[in-house]
């Protein structure tokens, strides 16, 4: 079946957060991490059938969805999980906050990479926890986590290690030896690990593959909370269907206890969409990956042709992390916004010299945004 990712769906006056931010302004929004693609036809059909049912009372997790997740972990990652390890969530960000509150005490700290998706650091702030930042360092054209660099600064209060793989921003896909080094660090310091793997299905670089941190060995499995979702994969973010995989019974119990009375249940339409996506969405996903690879190649080529900008290869995700530190402007974000392109300010991720560009959109829209950026840089 052919899927039309070139279709430009008008979201400008819908309930879209992405498009509402610059509503009625001549700005192309390429910031928040959802795509402008219609979700798989099987998902739309399943939702239409469920809506036609007409009753939307409290729901329970569908056994079929649980079975699909177990099967998916086995088939894609050779990771044998059990159904009872799965804890459903109405979004991945609440999983970060639950992990922070479940596995650190008031006097304990987390270890958080930087630059990183802002809700990680927000989770520490909301819980009143201290945190250490560990930098990503560029080596051989890739950004990798330099955990050993912070060991001298650790004081013994650290209890939780946050990881993000594939990494957001930048799209680094960690190799097995890199994950094993992260695991060795976690063992040395007896850390619980919370691994955000929401972009695991969006591997763009040939030869790269996603390896769940918890699948490394039995010790990694027993100390890890893995967060996943179909939301980035199939553009279901607004429905809020996510899950944690927690093998260790005590860690799972603490996580569930922290959730009680605070985090709502997943709604019935989210369950329907997730089930249909995992059951029937693979052909659509394969086509989307081909489209995103072409978009990625276009962005890399055109951004790296501009003086003052630099973009490393994007191994995964649809998010380009653009180094604008050599651009003679005070704020790259505001500079490109004035040119009519709404990117994400790198300051939110920990580095204002960068901007993040979402290339999960029809190519004609992407081409228009890149042309505006080219004209703006040329005008300097």
What's the alpha-carbon Rg for the chain, to the nearest Å? 21
pLDDT by residue (tens digit) across 265-309? 999 999 999 999 999 999 999 999 999 999 999 999 999 999 999
**To the nearest 10°, the Cα dihedral for 210, 216, 219, 225?**
10
Helical ranges in the chain per DSSP H: 17-20, 41-53, 63-77, 92-103, 119-127, 176-188, 218-223, 231-234, 249-259, 268-280, 282-304, 332-338, 363-379
pLDDT by residue (tens digit) across 61-115? 999 999 999 999 999 999 999 999 999 999 999 999 999 999 999 999 999 999 9
Q: Does residue 19 have a pLDDT over 80?
A: yes
pLDDT by residue (tens digit) across 158-207? 999 999 999 999 999 999 999 999 999 999 999 999 999 999 999 999 99
Q: Judging by beta carbons within 10 Å of its beta carbon (0-12, 13-18, 19+), is residue 30 exposed, middle or buried? A: buried
Distance of alpha carbon 225 from alpha carbon 239, whole angstroms: 22
Residue 119: both structure tokens together: 């809700």
Distance of alpha carbon 196 from alpha carbon 110, whole angstroms: 15
Distance of alpha carbon 111 from alpha carbon 94, whole angstroms: 18
Residue 252: both structure tokens together: 């799972």
Whether cis (ω within 30° of 0) applies to the bond prior to 153 is no
> Do 23 and 363 meet the contact criterion of CB atoms below 8 Å apart?
no
User: Residue 135 phi/psi, 5° resolution?
Assistant: -80, 150
pLDDT by residue (tens digit) across 140-161? 999 999 999 999 999 999 999 9
> Do 159 and 111 meet the contact criterion of CB atoms below 8 Å apart?
no
| Mean per-residue pLDDT, 105-128 | 98
DSSP string, 48-106: HHHHHH---------HHHHHHHHHHHHHHH-----GGGEEEES-HHHHHHHHHHHH--T
| Mean per-residue pLDDT, 342-358 | 97
Distance of alpha carbon 206 from alpha carbon 184, whole angstroms: 28
pLDDT of residue 1: 65
Q: DSSP 3-state helix, strand, coil percentages of the chain (rounded to 5)?
A: 45, 15, 40
Q: Does residue 56 have a pLDDT over 80?
A: yes
Q: Which residues share a beta bridge with 350?
A: none
pTM: 0.97
pLDDT of residue 2: 86
Mean pLDDT of the chain: 97
The set of residues, in sequence order, having a beta carbon less than 8 Å from that of 373 and lying 6+ positions away, is: 303, 306, 336, 339, 341
3-state secondary structure of 375: helix
Distance of alpha carbon 309 from alpha carbon 327, whole angstroms: 7
**To the nearest 10°, the Cα dihedral for 62, 65, 66, 71?**
160
Sign of the torsion angle spanned by Cα atoms 232, 226, 148, 129: positive
User: Which top CATH class is 57-280?
Assistant: alpha beta
pLDDT band at 13 (very low <50, low <70, confident <90, very high): confident
In the chain, where are the structural domains located? 17-41+282-379, 57-280
User: Which top CATH class is 17-41+282-379?
Assistant: alpha beta
């Amino acid at each position: 079946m052919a899927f039309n990712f070139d279709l430009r769906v008008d979201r400008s006056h819908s309930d879209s957060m992405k498009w509402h931010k610059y509503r009625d302004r001549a700005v192309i929004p390429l910031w928040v991490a959802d795509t402008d693609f219609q979700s798989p036809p099987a998902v739309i059909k399943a939702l239409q059938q469920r809506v036609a049912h007409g009753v939307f009372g409290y729901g329970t997790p569908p056994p079929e969805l649980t079975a699909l997740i177990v099967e998916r972990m086995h088939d894609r990652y050779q990771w044998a999980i059990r159904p009872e390890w799965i804890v459903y969530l109405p979004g991945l960000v609440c999983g970060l906050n639950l992990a922070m509150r479940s596995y650190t005490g008031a006097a304990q700290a987390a270890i958080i990479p930087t630059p990183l998706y802002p809700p990680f650091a927000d989770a520490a702030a909301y819980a009143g926890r201290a945190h250490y930042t560990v930098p990503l360092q560029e080596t051989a054209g890739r950004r990798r986590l330099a955990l050993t660099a912070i060991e001298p600064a650790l004081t013994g209060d650290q209890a939780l290690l946050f990881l993000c793989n594939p990494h957001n921003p930048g799209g680094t896909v960690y190799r097995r030896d890199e994950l094993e080094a992260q695991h060795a660090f976690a063992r040395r310091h007896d850390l619980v690990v919370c691994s955000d793997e929401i972009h695991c299905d969006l591997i763009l670089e040939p030869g790269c593959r996603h390896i769940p941190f918890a699948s490394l060995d039995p010790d990694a499995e027993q100390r890890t909370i893995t967060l996943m979702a179909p939301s980035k994969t199939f553009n279901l973010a607004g429905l809020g269907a996510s899950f944690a995989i927690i093998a260790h019974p005590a860690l799972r119990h603490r996580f569930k206890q922290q959730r009680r009375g605070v985090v709502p249940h997943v709604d019935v339409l989210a369950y329907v969409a997730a089930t249909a996506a995992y059951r029937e969405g693979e052909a659509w996903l394969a086509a989307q990956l081909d489209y995103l690879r072409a978009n990625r190649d276009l962005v890399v080529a055109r951004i790296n042709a501009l003086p003052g900008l630099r973009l490393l290869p994007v191994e995964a995700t649809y998010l380009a992390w653009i180094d604008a530190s050599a651009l003679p402007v005070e704020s790259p974000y505001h500079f490109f916004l004035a040119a009519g392109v709404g990117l994400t300010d790198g300051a939110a991720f920990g580095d204002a010299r960068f901007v993040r560009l979402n290339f999960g959109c029809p190519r004609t829209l992407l081409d228009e945004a890149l042309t505006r950026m080219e004209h703006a840089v040329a005008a300097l």
